[in-house]
Structure 1
Amino acid sequence: MKDQINTIYKNHSQFYKILLFLTTTFLIVFIFPKSGRFKYNFEKGKPWQTENLYAPFNFAIQKSKLKIAEEQELIKSQTTYFFDKDISVEDKVKNDYDVAFNKVFNDSISNFNQLKSKGVAILNSFYQYGILNEDLKLNDNSSVVILVDNVEKKSTTYSKLQKQGKIKDHIENELKEGNLLRYTNKLTALFFDVIQSNLIYNKTLTDNVLQESLDKISSNRGVIDKGTLIISKGEVVNDDKYQVLNSLSKEYESQVWSKSSYNWIVFAYTLLVALALLMLLLFIRKYRLDVYKNNTKVTFIFFNVLVIVLLTTLVINYNSEYVYLVPIAILPLVLKAFFDARLGLFTHVITVLLLGSIVPNSYEYMFLQIIAGIVTILTVSELYKRANLFISVGQITLVYIIAYFAFFVIHEASIDNLKWETFGLFILCGLATLFVQPLIYVYEKLFGLVSDVSLLELSDTNSKLLKELSNKAPGTFHHSLNVANLAEASANEIEANAMLVRVGALYHDIGKMKSPTYFTENQSSGINSHDELSPKESAKIIINHVLDGIEIAKKYNLPDRVIDFIRTHHGTSQVYYFYMKEKAKNEAVNIQDFTYPGPKPFSKETAILMMCDSVEAASKSLKEPTSSKIDNFVENIINKQKDDGQFLNANITFKEIESIKKVLKRKLANIYHLRIEYPE
């Protein structure tokens, strides 16, 4: 049991990665749409490239959205409008008319009976169908049904219904025929006093009847029997064939896969996702071993892949037309900021391949996204410079637009129906990509990672910690600045992370703040504090500046990547001066008392700092320096470090070490202002 526990403990990192791999696979498969995909790709107006296709089963041909919309508009234009009629209104109005007419008109006028009869006739014409309480502004030919107590009484057209706004015109036309025009004003005023509307629009019933008609629209326009030839090889996919193929494709997704083979689909998706994530994990293990060994970094990479897949799936489930709104270019941007371009691009390609199994027009989508990822990697450099990010996002957006335009022309052979709104999606996607800056900050806090943006902030010599270093140990601060300049130039020469090594150089000796006067660069009074100490005590103080530096760095929350420079800048070398001094007194001296605890440098950047730190510190002892002296001096120091095996754990080559030597020789020659000796 104890042995099993020890085995688990020793291999806990591997177990964690296996658990992470399985969990990520499960989550991606879980959020994927659970439908199969039609195995053939087809495009309208293009030849059918595969073998003759026969119907594998009976299926209905679905109508296009445009056809269904046309049928809906036709039904809406032919809809019937229902009105409720109040039959008591007509009798009341006629009674009121008799009373009012006798009051307004004197029976002594010559046309009294004729005028009264004309008024009754007008009322009858008004109430033949009825008077509306409001004008609905419908088409005159619209069908109308008049209901009395919810029972149909009359059917007519909207033009036959009387509108209150047209009553005056109707009266004038009627009175012209009987030479009664001079009574128009009085009779009109009388009518307006007594007339009441008796038709009320029944919107609820009208809408219900319309909806019933719309619901009866069939989404299908026919059936294809099993075994029927759908399309032959080489035949052009016209509108009709496209609709048939599209119907078959949807039938596969909605019935064949989801109902009869759901478990097989899930199993197949699991295989694909697991295979893709396994390739990513193997790539990290083979080419980025330092990342692979860090579980936090591996988790960070898988987490970002999962987030991109989740966002894209959500958009597809909502509306697949908005799929290009997802800023996938953020993925390579983030990974390049924290790791490197190669890992960022490989992860981006794996993610796009995963999404290719669920997005529509998968080839077009994958082409656009992979090209955008390549452009992202090639164009974005020095992400901490805001102008660079804006320029790169503009280039990414332009590549999206150009590639989409090319695909559209290939598919349609014209630009007449170009979807300009898609260009808007690309622009919005570009704007969303700018969110990478605050996202990087959030990731730094969540995962404890360090980007170039943070390194730029740490390189500010006005920061609190570096200010404290310059006040307590000014000589050490000046030494750190010189080392930073040498290290940055060396890193640029071999294409290492110049910003990282500069920051590491600025902070590598902060431990000397604890006992600044015990280091020669801070001894301005000419008094050497080591004169009162034994060589062993002096060596302990010198060695402890590494441990003190780590303690101070953690107190000020410096990132681990920066603390690594403090740990490794002396490797496992010896405090040689005090060792020899002690050895002169005692032959049985323990060399471990004079040896730095290490570890040795384990990256190009930490190796560069060790070289530059040793060369810069020792260069102060050069007297009357010449080019040859400097060359030998640099060669001796770095060769000794190399012979001591200080660079065995760093992924730095002999060629790169030689390049660094050349940079240091050139820089030191410039520092000491060496000139060619001209003859007098």
Structure 2
Amino acid sequence: MKKKSKSWKISFQHLKAFKFYHVIIYVLLGFIMFGIMFSNVKPEKVNVQLFSNAEKTIVAPHSFEDREATELLRKEAADKVPDQFIRDKDKAYQQIARVENLFEVLIETKNKIAELEKVPETSPPAEEEADSSQSQEEPEPIMLTDAEKLKLLEEALEGQVPDRWENELKEENLLFLLGSKEADLTRYKNASVTAINNAMSRDIHTIEDASEAKNLARTELSQSGNVPSVIINISSISVIQNVIYDSALTQEKRQQAIDTVEPVRISQGDTLVKAGQFIDRETYRLLTIAGFVNQSDNLAPYAGLLIIIGLMIFALVYLFKNIDTTIHSKNTYLTMYLLIFSITLILLKIFSFFQTLNTTEIGYIAPVAMGAMLIKMLINDRIAIFSSIIFGICGSFIFNMVPGAMNYTVGSYLIISAVASVLFLNQHNRRLTILQTGLFVSFINVVTVIALVLLTNRDLTGMNELLDLGINGTMAIGSGVVSAVLTIGILPFFEVGFGMLSTMKLLELSNPNHPLLRKILMETPGTYHHSVMVANLSESACEAVGANGLLARVASYYHDIGKTKRPHYFIENQMGRANPHDKLPPQTSKNIIIAHATDGAQILRDHNMPKEIVDIAAQHHGTTLLKFFYHKAKEQNENIKEEEYRYPGPKATSKEAAIVGTADSIEAAVRSLNNPTPDKIETIVKAIIKDRLQDGQYSDCDLTFKELEEIGKSFCETLQGIFHSRIEYPKGEEEES
């Protein structure tokens, strides 16, 4: 069984080393998202026939405008607007001008006739003709006939009066007016103008209005006295309609009425036809617009889904590009992400199947926070936050009620729930913390549900509404609790399967009953005590500079496990026995001491310990020099090279490894002091850190000078607490004797 497990792991390692492995993972992510959400965007196909009964209730798959109904309403609104008319004031001025023109022509013709009928003046006779001229008679005046007078007047009136005045301007009436005095004509004109102006000062819209106005003018002239009937008739004829049709104003009013008509819109989810309802022409028309008639395989919804998935994948590519891969490879993180993401989406899909129970908010119970917490604990915070957004987007599709639509309510809820879990899970070193996070998420979920209900302005006074709110709140609480339980249950599988070192895994490894710790305790008790001291020093120092203190503590427990191979060759385990190195040459002693680092790393690998702990065990001495044996060998042979008495390394590649190695040296040095005072402790701590710094042991990790100073202070404080001075109690008489 072990061989199969190892062969599988080896095969998986080879697969992860494949050059385009990350491309395969991203493609698989896209396929999984598309496969899970495919049915949620696939257009629903229904059998729709005119003049038949609907087989099922059909709702609008998307919002659209009913243009035909909109145009019909606009036409009705425009038809309701009556024709627009305006009063033309120029009409009255035109008619008055015609009457005035008539009288001016009469007066001019009358003056012309008088000029023609005037007696011509005669010149005085000459002297020689005086006698004969006296005998001649005076010239007689020229009298024009009525025909001649009418001819002159008609010539003057030609084109000056409307044709409809012909009946009133008969010969006898014209002769009467020509025979009237100029003063009378002026009086007639003034009376006629006044009557016309008064009559046309009102709106004359219809024939009835015109007839009434004409009568008004007649009455006014008749009551003024001494106005001939011909003037009354002409004045009456001059009164015409002064209200005319305004096409521009009519069009403007109708356009305003059209603009007030709101487009007829069918909202997404609106019922188009109920099950068993008769499909008439109007219903059939709506179904045609919605796309249920003559359905074809439309690829637009799938293209839209692929675009959204592509955008999310590109964002993930960017985030994983900048991920820290000092411990695990990027492909390992990608593989874990693929599994966590798939599990989360599958759970969302499973819960969506229960949406047919008339509970449209079934998405409130979806344990989306589980995926966010796992991603944070196993990968990092940034990817967990963005994944929360992706879960919300995918959930809005998965929990939709209409194909291709998005359930924004559930989508928003899922995003808030997942983000809350990531933000609250800041210290995940205990299972209790995950449960506390689940309870916090439940609280946030309930608050979110209440907020979403209030946003809809729903009446909450009824029992049904309160019952729905209670059910949704219960599902929201269940979501947080279920997420926490699933996280605790699934996390160990990822830790074992991928060799991930989570906080809970570290806590399990720190259990004194662990086989390797019991081995150290039973076979090398001195080393065990030394490791516990190093663990205390390392944890405090790591926490001082923001490193993983728990990792440093657990790694300290195991860092010297290689000493269990030859326990008595290390001074802390000799227990008063003779030191075997006194009888060995320096070269042999060096090999035994140096081997404990490589032996320890190999023992840890054989027991499938996490890579982080194996690395610290292998790196805690770096390439430091075994000074005691080097100087001992130097005394025997001056040609001995320093490189031969150095640990093979590698140097510390993480803050935790550097701190554990430094704490290991400091604890051994301080323990060798007879009376470790604070000054002596501080001197040793500074000397060891300075020596390691000058020796280049920190060159492969990212410790700064400021952090080294903080680490030194932490070591001093911890050691002074351990080796504090004690009160010397007085001895009893028996002891003195």
Q: TM-score range by the shorter chain?
A: 0.5 to 0.7
Say whether 1:617 aligns with 2:668.
yes
Indicate if the aligned counterparts of 1:315 and 1:322 stay in contact, CA closer than 8 A. yes
Aligned to 2:724, the other structure's residue is in SS state coil
Q: 1:331 to 1:10 in 2, by over 3 A?
A: closer
Corresponding position of 1:29: 34
Task: Quote the offset at 1:13 in angstroms.
Answer: 5.0
Deviation per CA, 1:487-528: give whole Å up to 9, x if none: 111222223222221110001101001111111211222521
Match of 2:478 in 1: 428
The alignment status of 1:639 with 2:679, answered yes or no, reads: no
More off after superposition, 557-566 vs 415-424: 415-424
The aligned residue for residue 665 of structure 1 is 716
Q: Is the Cα–Cα contact under 8 Å of residues 41 and 301 in structure 2 kept in the other structure? A: yes
Q: Which one is further off, 619-628 or 24-33?
A: 619-628
Preserved CA contact (<8 Å) 1:37 1:253: no
State the distance in 2 between where 1:481 and 1:273 align: 51
Indicate conservation of the 8 Å contact 1:312/1:326, yes or no. yes
**1:569–1:601 CA contact under 8 A, matched in 2:** yes
Residues 368 and 656 (structure 1), Cα distance of their counterparts in 2 relative to 1, 3 Å cut: farther
In the TM superposition, what is the alpha-carbon distance from 1:609 to its structure 2 partner? Answer: 1.1
Q: Whole-Å Cα distance in 2 between the matches of residues 315 and 250 of structure 1?
A: 31
Which residue number in structure 2 is paired with residue 412 of structure 1?
Answer: 457
Q: Which residue identity is paired with 2:31?
A: F
Any idea what the Cα deviations from partners look like across 1:147-169, whole Å, max 9, x if unmatched?
xxxxxxxxxxxxxxxxxxxxxxx
Q: For the structure 1 residues 582 and 377, does the alpha-carbon distance in structure 2 shift closer, same or farther, using more than 3 Å as the test?
A: same
- Counterparts of 1:384 and 1:11 in 2: how far apart (Å)? 29
After the TM superposition, which of the residue ranges 284-293 and 429-438 deviates more from structure 2?
A: 284-293
Match of 2:437 among 392, 395, 398: 392
Q: Give 2:654's aligned amino acid.
A: S
- Aligned pairs for 1:492-507 (under 5 A) are 492-507=543-558
CA contact under 8 A between 1:20 and 1:299: conserved in structure 2? yes
8 Å CA contact 2:66–2:265 kept in 1: the answer is no
Structure 1 spans left out of the alignment, 5+ residues: 1-8, 39-58, 61-212
Question: For residues 610 and 380 of structure 2, what CA distance do their matches in structure 1 show?
Answer: 18
Change over 3 Å in CA distance of 1:556–1:10 after alignment to 2: closer
Structure (1 or 2) with the larger CA radius of gyration? 2
Residue number among 362, 366, 373 corresponding to 1:333 in the alignment: 373
State the AA in 2 paired with 1:410. Answer: L
Match of 2:343 in 1: 307
Within the candidate set 541, 561, 568, 1:510 is matched to 561
- State the Cα distance separating 1:639 from its structure 2 match: 2.2
| C-alpha separation in 1, matches of 2:714 and 2:272 | 65
1:578–1:594 contact (8 Å) kept in structure 2: yes
Change (3 A) 1:239 1:228: closer
Q: What CA deviation, in whole Å up to 9, does each residue of 1:324-366 have, x standing for no partner? A: 2220111122233334444433433344344445544544334
Match of 1:81 in 2: none
For 2:261 and 2:474, locate their aligned partners in 1 and report how far apart those are by CA, in whole Å. Answer: 35
Question: Partners of 2:716 and 2:363 in 1: how far apart?
Answer: 55
Matches for 1:144-543 after TM superposition, within 5 Å: 225-229=66-70, 244=270, 259-262=296-299, 264-290=300-326, 293-316=329-352, 319=355, 321-356=361-396, 358-360=398-400, 362-380=407-425, 382-383=427-428, 385-416=430-461, 417-418=465-466, 419-420=468-469, 421-433=471-483, 434-543=485-594
How far did 1:217 drift?
A: 7.8
Given the superposition, is the C-alpha separation of residues 371 and 453 from structure 1 closer, same or farther in structure 2, using an over 3 Å criterion?
same
Would the alpha carbon gap of residues 503 and 353 (structure 1) be closer, same or farther in structure 2, given more than 3 Å must change?
same
Once residues 246 and 647 of structure 1 are traced to their aligned partners in structure 2, the CA distance between those partners, rounded to angstroms, is: 73
Decide which moves more: 455-464 or 591-600.
Answer: 591-600
Offset of 1:226 from its aligned partner? 4.2
Tell me: CA distance 1:583–1:258, structure 2 relative to 1, closer, same or farther (3 Å): farther
TM-score with structure 2 setting the length: 0.60
Q: Distance in 1 between matches of 2:293 and 2:716?
A: 73
The equivalent of 1:150 in structure 2 is none
Counterpart-to-counterpart distance in 2, 1:250 and 1:484: 73
Matched with 1:570 is: 621
Q: Alignment RMSD, CA only?
A: 4.0
User: Does the CA-based 8 Å contact 2:364-2:413 persist in structure 1?
Assistant: no
Rate the CA distance shift 1:647–1:294 in 2: closer, same or farther, 3 A.
Answer: farther
User: Which whole-Å deviations, capped at 9, do the CAs of 1:571-625 have from their partners, x for residues lacking one?
Assistant: 2222222223223333433444322222222222222212211211222233443
Number of residue-to-residue matches in the alignment: 495
Distance 2:726 2:262 in 1: 79
CA shift for structure 1 position 480: 0.2
Counterparts of 2:627 and 2:414, CA distance in 1: 57
- Cα displacement string for residues 397-452 of structure 1 (whole angstroms, at most 9, x for unaligned residues): 11111111111111134324352322222233233211221211222233222322
> Kindly, what percent of the aligned residue pairs are identical?
28
* CA spacing shift, 1:493–1:675, aligned 2, 3 Å: farther
Show CA shifts across 1:135-156 (max 9, x none): xxxxxxxxxxxxxxxxxxxxxx
Query: Equivalent of 2:21, from 16, 19, 27?
Result: 16
Q: Distance in 2 between matches of 1:630 and 1:229?
A: 90
Letter in 1 for 2:365: L
Rate the CA distance shift 1:669–1:350 in 2: closer, same or farther, 3 A: same
Confirm or deny: 8 A CA contact 1:34 1:266 kept in the other structure: no
Output the CA distance in 1 between the equivalents of 2:557 and 2:649.
19
Structure 2 gaps, min length 5: 1-13, 74-257, 274-284, 401-405, 728-737
Take 1:522 and 1:382, find their aligned partners in 2: how far apart are those partners? 37
- C-alpha separation in 1, matches of 2:429 and 2:562: 29
Q: Aligned partners of 1:508, 1:24: CA distance in 2, in Å?
A: 39
**Letter of the aligned partner of 1:290 in structure 2?**
T
